[in-house]
Amino acid sequence: MLRRQTIGIVGIGQVGMAAAYAIFQQRIAQELILIDRDRERAEGEAMDLMHAQGYVGRRRVRAGDYPDLKQAQVVIICAGVGQKPGESRLDLLNRNASIFKIIAEQLDEHVPEALLLIATNPVDILTYVMQELSQRPNQRIIGTGTMLDTTRFRTLLAEYYNVDPRSVHALILGEHGDTEVPIWSTVSIAGASLVKNDVLGEGFEREAMENIFERVRRAAYDIIDRKGYTNWAIGLVIAHLLRTTLDDQNSVLPVSVRLDGEYGINDVCLSIPAAVGIEGVTKRVLPSINDEELAGLRHSAEVLKESLAGIRLG
């Protein structure tokens, strides 16, 4: 018998709802359970989305609490708090880590087997924190990492070369944040390498390419300056990650995983290409990268480790 696919989302704000909308509209799961500390808001969102069944077909969307997640195969975590005026990054981090402590306890009690997909920022740090707090294996706790940055990168490169972004193979790895690393040495369009000046007969225009990466790196700031948050693209990222998981696709995606010697890096979560399926992260795929890119990844790891050192988990 086909098992009903039930998905939980914890944190029904802009990101949680953009993910819920994408999952619902793409018919990825039969049942969505929305959990937020503001129960009324979750109820309102569930009612609103439910009413579109006339277009997407029979699906359940309901507000709930942790015991309702019993049947969930995957739980998506987008719960978080914003920075208070005058608050340091580290204080904010510690407040989000305390929220994660409560969430981890609840999830371990009620859905110990579910895969956890983490989107809350700083996503690499909080993926590591959840791995420390939860009893489930680390391979079952995955951060969205640089998936968002990577789709931004592919989109802007595609715009430049005037091709379909899905035909552009490009990766941003490392931290989801300021130290992220564009992996120029692997960028290709249909196998034609960018750095080898192969693409559409055009040379590698260093300045134009650096400008593209800078726009990717600054994208969150630029969007937040204008609308106050980012949600649509990350919603689709989460839906894609969920689909590859539930369908056991083992798609290789730049997700945040705990490194164990890859590129000489240990004991920190950051994005490298990893195969994601129903068991979580099964394989890591390590493209050859140049010395500058390697140094960039190691720098990302150092910066993340400094933040981790300031976290209180007790």
Strands (E), the chain: 6-10, 31-35, 60-63, 74-77, 115-118, 141-143, 168-169, 172-173, 181-182, 188-189, 192-193, 251-260, 266-277, 280-284
How distant is the alpha carbon of residue 147 from its chain centre? 6
176 catalytic, yes or no?
A: yes
Q: Least distance (Å) from ligand NAD to the CB of residue 134? A: 15
Nearer to ligand NAD, 15 or 133 (CB): 15
The crossing angle, in degrees rounded to 10, of helices 89-110 and 291-309 is: 80
Q: Least distance (Å) from ligand NAD to the CB of residue 234? A: 4
Residues that bind ligand NAD (CB under 6 A): 10-16, 35-38, 78-82, 99, 102, 119-121, 123, 144, 148, 176, 229-230, 234
Instruction: Give the tokens for residue 30.
Output: 């039969």
Q: Least distance (Å) from ligand NAD to the CB of residue 237? A: 7
Q: Is 143 helix (H, G, I), strand (E, B) or coil?
A: strand
Residue 119 identity (one-letter amino acid): A
| Residue among 241, 239, 268, 243 nearest 255 (CA) | 241
Nearer to ligand NAD, 122 or 194 (CB): 122
Q: Least distance (Å) from ligand NAD to the CB of residue 202? A: 31
Q: Least distance (Å) from ligand NAD to the CB of residue 7? A: 16
Using Cβ positions, the residue closest to ligand NAD within the complex turns out to be: 13
- What Cα–Cα distance (Å) separates residue 261 from each residue in 78, 128, 196? 29, 16, 29
Q: Choosing from 110, 169, 176, 240, which is the catalytic residue? A: 176
Cα(75)–Cα(91) distance, rounded to whole angstroms? Answer: 26
Nearer to ligand NAD, 36 or 68 (CB): 36
**For the residues of 75-127, what is the DSSP string, one character each?**
EEE----PPPTT--HHHHHHHHHHHHHHHHHHHHHH-TTSEEEE-SSSHHHHH
Nearer to ligand NAD, 82 or 264 (CB): 82
Nearer to ligand NAD, 35 or 129 (CB): 35
Read off φ and ψ for residue 276, nearest 5 degrees: -120, 125
Which residues are identified as catalytic? 176
